[in-house]
Amino acid sequence: MRFNTLAAKIEEGLGAEFNLLTANIVGSSVLGKSILPKNKKASSISLLERAFKFGLGTVSLSSMRRASLTSRESSLALAQNLSSDEAVRLDFIASLAKAELGYCRAEYIKLLTERISKALSQDLLKSARYSAYGQSLLKGELSEALTTTGKATGSAWLRTVNTAINDAFQEGRLAGILRKGAEDPLVYKRPKNDACEWCKALYLESDGKTPIVFKSSMLRAFGTNAGRKHNTPDNTDWAPTVGSVHPWCRCTIYELPKGHAFDSSGRATQGGLW
């Protein structure tokens, strides 16, 4: 079987499942009209919408408090209605994630096709036609191809989904900050102790403790770092962003309220000049 024909057959067999997975992550409205597996429906609220609303509904809570929400509190956060501007931001994040997931899907199909093509010799196919032993060998080769392809591409899927979830969560937090009414609130990000050197350089002053303060509009204007070169922390095209600076980024956005500034340990306290 020719490579392109085999790839088309694999896409035909797995396409509906890929569509369902994508719909559950980005939302059916973003995915558009696509064939889903029979007797299966996409979730009514996508993974990214959950992350956005969770960020929106818990923006005033500490990370420890967010981790201990009751089921009722979580349900209330997810039940919130989004404004038109908030919905646009969520759709933008979901559209980027959809494109990245499409790339992951194409790579999976290509790699699986290559491995099946390599594994299925003409002798094996003939043997499978005429004997149970040959069929067993054929099933083993197909199973091995699926397993190794999944392992080889799994990290790309996880990276894409986790980064998109963080983007949605951080955008939700900013939406919650904006809902408080300030026209262009001051915000900052606090990298974790194990954060990369790029995030520390982008978000912390030279003392390595005090967060750099931004207008929220400034972070929004920087967009994303997709396609930008990063070289070294001192020589990078990466910019501070509302969402992820890079894949797997977990730097969280906070508001710096009026009358607050940072103390010697880098913590926001009342009595500052902002």
- Please report, in tens digits, the pLDDT of each residue of the chain (274 residues total): 566 787 888 788 888 989 999 999 999 999 888 888 888 888 999 999 999 999 998 887 877 788 788 888 888 888 889 999 999 999 999 999 999 999 999 998 888 888 877 766 656 555 655 566 556 666 677 777 778 888 888 899 999 999 999 999 999 999 999 999 888 999 999 998 899 999 999 999 999 999 999 999 999 999 999 888 888 888 789 999 999 999 999 999 999 998 899 988 888 888 655 4
What pLDDT, on a 0 to 100 scale, did the predictor assign at position 134?
55
Backbone torsion region of residue 223, taken as left when φ is above 0, otherwise alpha when ψ lies between -120 and 50, otherwise beta: left
Count of C-beta atoms within a 10 Å radius of residue 262 = 19
| Angle at CA of residue 114, ends 111 and 118, nearest 5° | 140
The contacts of residue 103 (CB under 8 Å, 6+ apart) are none
Q: What pTM does this model have?
A: 0.87
What pLDDT, on a 0 to 100 scale, did the predictor assign at position 86?
95
How far is residue 29's CA from residue 44's CA, in Å, rounded to a whole number?
10
Adjacent-strand bridge partners of 215: 186
CA 107, distance to chain mean position in Å, is 18
How far is residue 56's CA from residue 37's CA, in Å, rounded to a whole number?
33
Instruction: Give the pair of three-digit tokens for residue 199.
Output: 């995030």
